């Protein structure tokens, strides 16, 4: 006859069962995350594949030319795999993408993946600096505007948001060049670096500012800074307008909650009520807004890059579109889509840091 379990043994068995359940739930969450990522990526591949097949541009003619013979045309079509069924073509396309093969650019005659490695760091540097400006200026401006509702600072914040949502970015960029470059000479002109400084700093990260600091080339650093400050400020202004408006909306909602009234009734300092209690509760939705703003700056800086002759992926994509270089267009679109997915994953990970309920 078995002896009844002691309370300590019962507690240990219960703890073991709970640990097993927690481990199973973690595995299920990881599997769900992997499946979601895979489905999203396959969907992105499908969209780019359909775009490549539905545009009224014959990729075979772009390779062999419109004067090629029927034999040469058929051979090129077979070499590109376009004589296969659509399902087989999609499989070949997905296989090449997974192996890092995005095709060859007709415009540069280089592999598209190499071109993207060359131009994407410039866009990443510009969008990152613009996002930092947006966060450091827009978020505090939105918090202060909500805390001083219907006062002069609130009116200023709303005016900034209105202008940022109304004025075209290319017009603001041209006016910035006319004023700060052509008239006042406060900043350098279009481009990423003066030609005299090309090659003076070894490329490690793709960011001219960081690479110049690593190499100790202060002339290169300040020249690159003088080139990037104006386009980053233009993009950063739109980020400030968007983030200040969203932060103000989030804060107004939180400041009307009962827990804020209770904290004030307890005599807590107003700064603590605003920046600790209310601001802490908008961190999760604010992270989403910042991630979306960063994503839009990465893909939406095309006009800014054109105005400032910035050699980023926006300029590269525009040139590919104008020259019907579909490999470059689809490769750039795919990279931008993957960037969106990566930023969403990063946002989900940050949720668990700032919101204990997400854990």
Give domain status of residue 256, yes or no.
Answer: yes
Give domain status of residue 162, yes or no.
Answer: yes
Give domain status of residue 130, yes or no.
Answer: yes
Q: Where do runs of H (alpha helix) occur along 55-85?
A: 59-64, 70-79
Give domain status of residue 31, yes or no.
Answer: no
Question: Residue 204's domain spans which residues?
Answer: 114-358
Number of separate domains in the chain = 1
Q: Where do runs of H (alpha helix) occur along 256-325?
A: 258-265, 270-272, 279-280, 283-300, 302-307, 313-322
Distances (CA, A) of 180 to 14, 142, 195, 237: 70, 27, 21, 16
Give domain status of residue 70, yes or no.
Answer: no
Contact in structure between 187 and 229 (CB atoms under 8 Å): yes
> What are the pLDDT tens digits along the chain (359 aa)?
445 556 666 666 666 666 676 778 777 877 887 888 888 888 888 888 887 777 777 777 766 777 777 788 788 777 777 777 888 888 888 888 888 888 888 788 889 999 999 889 999 999 999 999 999 999 999 999 999 988 999 999 899 888 888 888 888 989 999 999 999 889 888 888 888 877 777 777 778 888 888 888 888 889 989 999 999 999 999 999 999 999 999 999 999 888 888 888 888 888 898 988 889 888 888 988 998 888 888 876 788 888 898 888 888 888 888 877 888 888 888 888 888 888 888 887 777 777 666 55
**193: helix, strand or coil:** coil
The predicted pLDDT at position 142 comes to 93
Phi and psi, residue 111, nearest 5°: -55, 140
DSSP state of 37: H
Q: How many CB atoms lie within 10 A of CB 109?
A: 8
Cβ density class 319-358: b for 16+ within 10 Å, e for less: bbeeebbbbbbbbbbbbbbebbeebbeebeebbeeeeeee
At 203, list the tokens.
């490329």
At 317, list the tokens.
């994509």
Give domain status of residue 177, yes or no.
Answer: yes
Contact in structure between 74 and 61 (CB atoms under 8 Å): no
| Residue whose tokens read 């069962």 | 17
| Residue whose tokens read 């594949």 | 49
Distance CA 319, CA 95 (A): 27
Q: What's the CATH number where 350 sits?
A: 1.10.3720.10
At 58, list the tokens.
């014959």
Distance CA 288, CA 297 (A): 14
Give domain status of residue 50, yes or no.
Answer: no
Give domain status of residue 257, yes or no.
Answer: yes
The predicted pLDDT at position 4 comes to 58
Classify 325 in phi/psi space as left (phi over 0), alpha (psi -120 to 50) or beta.
beta
């Amino acid at each position: 006859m078995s002896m009844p379990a002691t309370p300590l043994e019962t507690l240990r068995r219960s703890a073991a069962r709970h640990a097993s359940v927690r481990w199973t739930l973690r595995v299920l969450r990881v599997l769900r995350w992997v499946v979601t990522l895979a489905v999203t990526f396959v969907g992105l591949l499908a969209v780019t594949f359909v775009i490549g097949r539905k545009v009224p541009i014959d990729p075979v003619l772009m390779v062999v030319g419109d004067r090629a013979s029927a034999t040469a045309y058929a051979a090129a079509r077979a070499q590109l795999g376009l004589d296969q069924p659509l399902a087989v073509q999609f499989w070949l396309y997905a296989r090449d993408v997974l192996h890092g093969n995005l095709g060859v650019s007709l415009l540069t005659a280089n592999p598209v993946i190499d071109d993207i490695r060359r131009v994407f760091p410039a866009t990443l540097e510009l969008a990152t600096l613009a996002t930092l400006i947006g966060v450091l200026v827009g978020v505090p401006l939105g918090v202060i505007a909500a805390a001083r509702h219907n006062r002069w600072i609130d009116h200023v914040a709303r005016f900034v948001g209105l202008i940022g949502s109304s004025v075209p970015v290319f017009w603001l960029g041209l006016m910035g060049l006319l004023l700060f470059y052509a008239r006042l000479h406060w900043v350098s002109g279009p481009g990423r670096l003066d030609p005299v400084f090309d090659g003076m700093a070894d490329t490690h990260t793709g960011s001219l500012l960081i690479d110049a600091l690593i190499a100790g080339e202060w002339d290169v650093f300040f020249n690159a800074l003088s080139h990037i400050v104006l386009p980053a400020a233009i993009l950063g202004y739109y980020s400030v307008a968007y983030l200040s408006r969203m932060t103000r909306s989030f804060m107004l909602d939180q400041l009307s909650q009962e827990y804020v009234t209770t904290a004030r009734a307890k005599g807590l300092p107003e700064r603590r009520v605003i920046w600790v209690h209310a601001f802490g509760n908008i961190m999760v939705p604010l992270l989403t807004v910042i991630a979306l703003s960063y994503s839009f700056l990465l893909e939406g800086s095309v006009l800014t890059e054109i105005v400032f002759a910035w050699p980023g992926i926006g300029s590269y994509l525009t040139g590919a579109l104008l020259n019907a270089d579909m490999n470059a267009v689809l490769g750039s679109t795919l990279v931008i889509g993957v960037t969106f997915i990566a930023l969403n994953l990063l946002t989900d990970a940050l949720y668990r840091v700032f919101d204990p309920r997400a854990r």
